[in-house]
Amino acid sequence: GAVVSQHPSWVICKSGTSVKIECRSLDFQATTMFWYRQFPKQSLMLMATSNEGSKATYEQGVEKDKFLINHASLTLSTLTVTSAHPEDSSFYICSGSGKTSYEQYFGPGTRLTVT
């Protein structure tokens, strides 16, 4: 299957700072990318969907000014958590799907800890 990478895999930041997470499709063009959040022992919650070159569509309850998503190319999407707080600590997972395939290919996730 197609490969999606995320960087970093693990990050710690101080409260009030911003942190950027990268999601890359390594061997396919991801026309659509998705960002999920997963709390311990909970399911993945879809945060937003982004199409290359367009603004992201956020799910209800997700603060778009807090979680900035950029999908500037067909192989890269970034999620920036702005002014992070401890309650933003979570596991963030991205996925991508191509133009010809409905299937989503998932990255391995990024664990964010805000102190």
Partner 1 sequence: AQSVTQLGSHVSVSEGALVLLRCNYSSSVPPYLFWYVQYPNQGLQLLLKYTSAATLVKGINGFEAEFKKSETSFHLTKPSAHMSDAAEYFCASDPYYGNNRLAFGKGNQVVVIP
The two structure tokens encoding residue 55: 């603004």
Nearer to partner 1, 84 or 94 (CB): 94
Nearer to partner 1, 30 or 84 (CB): 30
Which residue type occupies 94? Answer: C
Rounded CA separation 79/92 (Å): 9
Rounded CA separation 97/35 (Å): 12
The answer to whether the Cα torsion of 59, 65, 66, 70 is positive or negative is positive
Tell me, what DSSP letter sits at residue 38? E
Nearer to partner 1, 10 or 12 (CB): 10
Binding site for partner 1 (CB under 8 A): 1, 4, 9, 32, 34, 36, 41-46, 49, 59, 93, 95, 97, 102-109
Rounded CA separation 98/61 (Å): 27
Nearer to partner 1, 58 or 81 (CB): 58
